Amino acid sequence: MKIGASTFIWVSPFSNDTFHLFSKVKKMGFDILEICVENPQTIDPVLIRQASLAEGVEVLICGAFGMDRDISADDEATRLNGINYIKCCIDIAAEVGSPLVSGPMYSATGKTRLLDPIAKKKQISLAVANMRIVADYADQVGISLAVEPLNRYETDFINTVDQGLDFFDQIGKDNVGFLIDTFHMNIEEKSIGEAIRRADKKVFNFHACANDRGTPGVDHLNWIEIKCALEQIGYDRYMVIESFTTEITEIARAVSQWRPLASSADMLASEGIKFLKKTFI
């Protein structure tokens, strides 16, 4: 198992001015820096690859899906922008050596509507068709897409593993699977362990987050249950801590984080990796 840290713990957006995070996470003992491509114009994939190799820290790429990047939107231009953005993330992943692009790429984060069955069927149909397009594009360069279910307050589309599995069946592409996140599962799943077992070989990426999105292990989650379930499905890929800083008002508001979740971002990351290594390695 390789342990990673999300750039969201410290910065938003990640840019060419925040490459110091590579040396920071290396010193803390992380294997991976998960970089969110909020604005592709702020980053240089060539420089990221150089920093990655220099520090011996691998890179995973994830996306940020605002209202203008919604592949299931009613508006065709918005859908096309979402497709092109995912393709851009795939191109960056290929350049920096990330085997994955992760995120809730089926819709816009924060889009919560109670659709009637006809409108819901249309939304799903649009998302399935466009996921096939980006999955084929990703497959050409050996990239997989790790789709993240979100909790009910952040999306009305895919909240659970079962909904995700049905979505994958409709897409029908082997390189489409899950990024599952313990924060979201704690809200939506009847049993985190059972949800992991149902996801099985479709788990491509894993976010280890406390129930409040703070330090993993400083929470009420049953990490032994989580460990056993991951062992049962033979998952040994990536385990990434994702949290957010309240110092960046826009991102804090987007994730409804109204208070600091640790004494500092560095403390959250350093204590989190100690717990994860003790529990999972």
Q: Where are the domains of the chain?
A: 2-280
pLDDT tens digits, 56-74? 999 999 999 999 999 999 9
156-170 as b/e: b if 16+ CB within 10 A:
bbbbbbeebbebbee
pLDDT tens digits, 179-214? 999 999 999 999 999 999 999 999 999 999 999 999
Structure tokens at 157: 């589309």
Instruction: Report, as an integer, the average pLDDT of 111-120.
Output: 95
pLDDT value at position 274?
Answer: 98
pLDDT value at position 186?
Answer: 98
Confidence check: pLDDT of 8 > 90: yes
CATH of range 2-280; options 2.60.40.10, 3.10.20.30, 3.20.20.150, 3.60.15.10: 3.20.20.150
For residue 149, cis peptide bond before it (omega within 30 degrees of 0): no
Confidence check: pLDDT of 54 > 90: yes
pLDDT value at position 146?
Answer: 99
pLDDT value at position 249?
Answer: 75
Range of weakest confidence among 13-17, 86-90, 140-144: 13-17
Confidence check: pLDDT of 246 > 90: no
- H helix or E strand, kind and range, residue 223: helix 223-232
pLDDT tens digits, 140-190? 999 999 999 999 999 999 999 999 999 999 999 999 999 999 999 999 999
Cα–Cα distance, 276 to 61 (Å, whole number): 21
Look at residues 233, 245, 174, 237 and name the one whose alpha carbon lies nearest to residue 4.
237
101 band by pLDDT with thresholds 50, 70 and 90: very high
- Asked whether 173 and 132 are in contact (CB, 8 A), the reply is yes
What pTM, to 2 d.p., does this model score?
0.96
Percent of the chain with pLDDT over 70: 99
Longest dimension (CA), the chain: 52
